[in-house]
Copies of this chain bind each other. A is one copy, B any other.
Amino acid sequence: MSVQEQGRRAKAASAVLATATRAAKDAALRAMADALVRRTPEILAANEGDLAAGRDAGMSAALLDRLSLNEYRLEGMAGGLRKVADLPDPVGEVVRGSTLPNGLELRQVRVPLGVVGIVYEARPNVTADAAGLCLKAGNAVLLRGSSSAARSNAAIVAVLRDALDGAGLPADAVQLVDASSRDSVKELMRARGLVDVLIPRGGASLIRSVVEESTVPVIETGVGNCHVYVDADADLDMALEILLNAKTSRPSVCNATESLLVHRAVAEPFLARALPALRDAGVTVHGDADVVEVGDRRGVTVIPATDEDFDTEYLSLDLSAAIVSSLDAAVAHIARFGSGHTEAIVTHSLPAAREFTARVDAAAVMVNASTRFTDGEEFGFGAEIGISTQKLHARGPMGLPELTSTKYVVTGTGQVR
C-alpha cells in the first residue's frame, strides 16, 4: 500500500479517535498490552528473523542487542502501554477560557493533532511506545522503523492492530510504513494534508535530512551536545559527582554531557581531581591548550581538542573540555557549540545561577544537577515521545500534551460583528 493511501486511512481513523472517550482509549491500550504478552512467541519468532539477518549482515553486538527482544522486554513494552493508560487524557482539557464583553463564551480546548508520523531507528520497543502515546492523545500514527527491525515491527504492529480492532477502535490508527526503501520516508515527508506532524527519532543525519526536505511540519528531536560548566563558586565535590554522572551513567543518550567548561579560578584544583577520575572511569578527554597543560602537569593524557571536538555529540566515553575566563565566556562557548538540548551550571552563587539560566538558550538549563535529568519520566510526565530541541510547539521532553493541538470553541446567542 502506498504511503498516501496509508495516510488517507490514518486520517479517517484519526477522525474516529478524535471523539473516542478516555475509557475507550484506555481499554484499547490495556488490550494492546495484554496482546503483546499473550502473543510473545510469534513476536520473538519474527525478531529471531531480524537478528539472523543482522548477524548475516555483520551487525555489531551493540546494535544486535538493541534489536533483540525477549519475554522481559515485551513485558516492559506491555507495562509501558498500561502506564500510558493510567495517565490523564490530555484531550478535552480547557487550556483557557473567558466570557467576552459581548457575551460570547470562549474556550480553548486541547484536541488531537490528527496523524503523527514517526521515523525511528533500530529499537523495536519504540513501535509500541509511540503507538501507545499517540493513541492516548487521540492521534493515528504512521510508524516508519528501520529495515533491520522490519519483521519485529510488523509482528508488533499486527498484534496492536488486532487488539485495537477487538477493542472497537479502528486498526488503521496504528500502521507500519514500508521500511524497505528510502522512498517511504520521502513520501511521508511530502504527505502534507494527510500527516500533521513528523517526528524523527534517531541520529543527527536522519533528523537533518527530515528537517531539510519535509513539507510536513517537523518536530526536531534529540541531538544533545550538552555542557557542564563548573563556575568559580562551585562546590568542587558536587561538580565532580555531577560531571561523572552526566558523562558516564549512560554515554549513548542525548542528555549525556559531551563537554566540560571550567572557570579559570577553580580550573587547577578541579581538573587535578577530575582528570584522574575521568581517566579511571574510562573517559578520554579532548582538551583545549590549557586543559592539556594541566593534564601534562598531573600526568594524565589529554588529547588536544579542535573546534570539531567542541562541535561533536560523541555519544561515547569521550569528553571535550575547556577552561573559560568567566561565566560570560562559558555562555558564549555554549551559544557557539551547544545544540539547545541541556546545559548545566554548578555554582553556589545565586547571581551566577540566575545569569546562566537567563542567558543560555536551551530546552533545559540545570543548576547543580546532572544533565541526565532532561527526560519525560524524570520530569514527571509519565512517558515521553522524544525530546524536542526546537523552539516551536514543544521544547524539551514531550509528553502527552505535546502530542495535541488546541481548538477555540466559541458559543453565542446570535452575536454578529
Contacts and interface: CB of A to CB of B under 8 A. Distances in A.
Main secondary structure, interface of A, reads mixed
A242 interface: yes
A391 interface: yes
A415 B392 CA distance: 29
A409 interface: yes
A125 interface: no
A166 to B, nearest CB: 25
A417 B373 contact: yes
A414 interface: yes
B249 A370 contact: no
Interface stretch (A69-77, A265-273, A304-312, A400-408): A400-408
A115 to B, nearest CB: 10
> In the complex this chain forms, how many copies of it are found?
2
Which of A217, A406, A416 counts the most chain B CB atoms within 10 A? A416
A417 B396 CA distance: 18
Contact of A414 (B369, B372, B378, B414): B369
A11 to B, nearest CB: 9
Interface of A: 15, 18-19, 98, 100, 104, 106, 108, 111, 113-114, 192, 196-197, 211-212, 215, 217-219, 235, 238, 241-242, 245-246, 249, 335, 353, 357-359, 361-370, 372-374, 378-380, 390-393, 395-396, 405-417
23 contacts: A15-B361, A106-B380, A113-B392, A196-B391, A211-B215, A217-B391, A219-B392, A242-B414, A242-B416, A249-B417, A365-B409, A365-B410, A368-B411, A369-B412, A370-B417, A372-B416, A372-B417, A373-B410, A373-B415, A393-B393, A395-B405, A396-B406, A396-B407
